[in-house]
Amino acid sequence: MFSAILIEKGDAGPQVALTELDDTALPAGDVTVTVEYSTLNYKDALAITGKSPVVRKFPMVPGIDLAGVVTTSDHADWSIGDAVVLNGWGVGESHWGGLSQRARLNGDWLVPRPAEFSARQAMAIGTAGYTASLCVDALLAHGITPDQGEVLVTGATGGVGSVAIALLSKAGFGVAAATGKPGEAAYLKGLGASTIIDRAELTAAGKPLQKERWAGAIDTLGSHALVNAAAQTRYGGAVAACGLAQGMDLPGSVAPLILRGVALLGVDSVMAPKPRRLDAWARLARDLDADAIDAIARDITLGAAIDAAGTLIDGTVRGRLVVDVNN
């Protein structure tokens, strides 16, 4: 038997409970993992609260992230005792996920946990940090360099934003952190932000072309924030877009793209191929220090994740929520 958060379909919306399940309930897969830690991400919060139809099939164990140890394997790449990490691949949406003490998975979805990180640290990073690393890789691959100016990060106190600031700072960039929480300025500067700006400067409709301010940007919000970030990016710069916390719409103009040569780089973390995942985790292992991880993360119990989902939706959570599934 093992504990898990289970979402079942109800007439009035999803029914969510911490429950005990038998191993025979686990879905098909060629690797079984004893989960040590998971996380609570925005997508998990949407699934648990029912605010968005994230769950594709019921019943469902949410949790798009997990870190643990392989206990059985019929996959050539994995042996009993291997320390692994999983991010995305539809886990927690169409396949049972990580908010559980046990998971059965497709071995192709797993990557080795970097030796530099404990299971808890890997989940303090989680999909948010892994996505941030993908975004930094995308900007660097486009040719953005520190001498070109500051990089803007929206949603700066969130999980993606927090890790992005730390990674960009480590890579030598000046970082402008956009936040609606002025009281978190010390936290953001501690991660490496050089400038703090009010999120309100970005979240309303703006002109198609604005004053050139940024060499590049990492946007987690979408909607007007993404449009304004592009409109403020310097000639030849790039914006890595990875989120939709403000909205899925793109109410803007092609002007920055065709008049300033600004590139819009879409960054997907869910289905990213394994080589890109390995590169992202290698950057995290190399450039993200333990102090930054500790500053970003807070631990909660498996049962507490249900109530915490509403708080995360409300936007009042700073950094990352690490779920100790065995507590």
- pLDDT tens track, the chain, 327 positions: 999 999 999 887 789 999 999 999 999 999 999 999 999 998 999 999 998 889 999 999 999 999 999 999 999 999 999 999 999 999 999 999 999 999 999 999 999 999 999 999 999 999 999 999 999 999 999 999 999 999 999 999 988 999 999 999 999 999 999 999 999 999 999 999 999 999 999 999 999 999 999 999 999 999 999 999 999 999 999 999 999 989 999 999 999 999 999 999 999 999 999 999 999 999 999 999 888 888 888 999 999 999 999 999 887 788 889 999 998
Residue 33, number of CB atoms within 10 A of its CB: 29
CATH superfamily, with its number, for domain 2-113+293-324: Medium-chain alcohol dehydrogenases, catalytic domain (3.90.180.10)
Could you give the CA distance from residue 262 to residue 264 in angstroms, rounded to a whole number? 7
pTM over 0.85: yes
Give the per-residue pLDDT at 91. Answer: 97
Asked if omega into 62 is within 30° of 0 (cis), the reply is no
- Write out the residue limits of the CATH 3.40.50.720 domain(s) in the chain: 126-266
Say how many residues make up the chain. Answer: 327
Helices (H) and strands (E) in the chain, counts: 9, 15
pLDDT of amino acid 292: 83
Intervals of CATH 3.90.180.10 along the chain: 2-113+293-324
Burial 225-245 (b: 16+ CB within 10 A, else e): bbbbbbbbbbeebbbbbbbbb
Write phi, then psi, for 267 (nearest 5 degrees).
-120, 115
* CA angle centred on 291, ends 176 and 214, rounded to 5°: 10
In this prediction, residue 295 carries a pLDDT of 84
Contacts of 231 (CB under 8 A, 6+ apart): 206, 207, 208, 209, 210, 252, 253, 255, 256
Reported as half-sphere exposure (CB side, CA atoms, 13 A), residue 122 has a value of: 26
Q: Output the pLDDT for position 238.
A: 98
Task: Give the whole-angstrom CA distance, residue 43 versus residue 62.
Answer: 9
**Which pLDDT value is given to residue 125?**
95
The CATH class given to the 126-266 domain equals alpha beta
Q: Which amino acid is at 93?
A: E
CB 321 within 8 A of CB 152: no
Structure tokens at 233: 């990016």
Per the CB < 8 A criterion, the answer to whether 105 and 61 are in contact is no
Task: Answer yes or no: are the C-beta atoms of 168 and 136 closer than 8 Å.
Answer: yes
